[in-house]
Copies of this chain bind each other. A is one copy, B any other.
Amino acid sequence: MIIILKKEISENIARIKKMFANKKQVLVHQNQVAVVGATATELPREIQVAAEQIIEKTPAAIQSSRLFHPEDIVIKTPHAHISSDSLTIMAGPCSVENRDHIFKMAAVAKQGGATVLRGGAFKPRTSPYSFQGLGEEGLKYLRAAADQNGMDVITEVMDDEHVPLVAEYTDIFQIGARNMQNFSLLKEVGKTKIPVALKRGMSATIDDLLNAAEYIAAGGNQQIMLIERGIRTFDSKYTRNTFDVAAIPVLQQLTPYPIIADPSHAVGRWDLVTPMAAAGIAAGAAGLIVEIHDDPEHAFSDGPQALKPATYLAMTRQAQAIHQLMAE
């Protein structure tokens, strides 16, 4: 149940908290008060009267719902301001491969207007025999490359034990699609104050994604953005996944978190990244996360979906133009 209070707000919040103490979870955001698993009939008349509205049918992911948090949540990092009123670009190679390479790629990313540098140091690979990332060494290079270009860092954290280590180097935790329901990890990043970019799992429904976000929010961290990166369907011959572009406006209606499009993973082919980035922005995405590489054929991972610098720069110009057009 969500109670939207219209008068004596702080007093009524206190009353509700007291009433349900040790019984139900009470969550507060401004004049919205959520009581998990409770119904209006449990409320005394005085609170019912003080409410503008009592919403009984709420989604399970209550804090991640606009019913509870109507205004957009804006993610702020030193160099980025992630929200639907601007276009944030996050770019970089799939993996941090070595010091020189990430510095080179950071400069390219920056040139295209990216304010956040991406790069994987811990890589979740399908096969145990594939390159697993440089680990902490990779994090150091990534941090240094971002700093030199006045950018922020986004990088994946793969398990709860690594949260403190990754926290030393990153501005944004990325949770990968395969870990979207790794609840231990979600709880751990939920205890920090660091923004979290949560990727939709490849067969996660919209509700699954919001419930996963709720694990982070339930820990006290609502600096969350959601990434649409393609879902698994019956046809993977021409694209690795199916880019669910409609999820972007659907999520924007349901949740206050900014929605980011990841065209690289959605299609898995560099030559489709530009039209998919365009589609994502036309559908209302607050940002893009894309993979770039100067020599995709020799990339340590995911080469086929990496944009070469020139293609990346053209893509970002088009993306900015569409974003501006949509804003008019």
Interface residues of A (CB under 8 A from B): 25, 36-37, 60-62, 124-129, 158-162, 178-179, 181-185, 187, 201-203, 205-208, 211, 214-215, 218, 231-239, 242-246, 248-250, 253-254, 266-267, 271-272, 275-276, 278-284, 318, 321-322, 325-326
Determine whether the beta carbon of B128 is less than 8 Å from that of A214: yes
> Is there an interface contact between A129 and B218, defined as CB atoms closer than 8 Å?
yes
Given A206-B235, A233-B244, A238-B254, 15 extra CB contacts under 8 A: A62-B129, A124-B181, A125-B183, A158-B184, A201-B203, A203-B234, A233-B234, A234-B236, A238-B246, A250-B272, A275-B282, A278-B283, A279-B280, A282-B322, A325-B325
Taking CB atoms, residues of chain B closer than 8 Å to A211 are 126-128
Which of B61, B160, B236, B280 contacts A161 (CB under 8 A)?
B160
Whether A249 pairs with B275 at a CB distance below 8 angstroms is yes
A246 touches B233 (CB 8 A): no
Does A208 lie within 8 Å of B322, measured CB to CB? Answer: no
Measured CA separation A250–B184 after assembly (Å)? 33
Nearest opposing residue in chain B for A217, CB measure = B128
Q: Which of B182, B215, B239, B318 contacts A246 (CB 8 A)?
A: B239
* Most chain B CB neighbours (cut-off 10 Å) among A183, A202, A250: A183
Instruction: Decide: B159 and A184 in contact? CB cutoff 8 A.
Output: yes
Which listed residue (B36, B201, B208) contacts A129, Cβ 8 A? B36
A15 to chain B, nearest CB (A): 22
Q: Which residue of B lies closest to A249 (CB)?
A: B275
Considering only CB atoms, which chain B residue lies closest to A251 in the complex? B238
Query: Which chain B residues lie closer than 8 Å to A36 at the CB level?
Result: 129
Closest to A254 in B: B238
Q: Is the CB of A126 within 8 A of B208?
A: yes
Q: Which residues of B have CB within 8 Å of A60?
A: 126-127, 129
The complex places the Cα of A246 from the Cα of B215 at a distance, in Å, of 31
Residue in B181, B218, B231 whose CB lies within 8 Å of A233: B231
Residues in chain B near residue A205, CB distance under 8 A? 234-235, 237
Contact A267 B283 (CB under 8 A): no
Chain B residues closer than 8 Å to A246, beta-carbon distance: 238-239, 242-243, 266-267, 272, 275-276
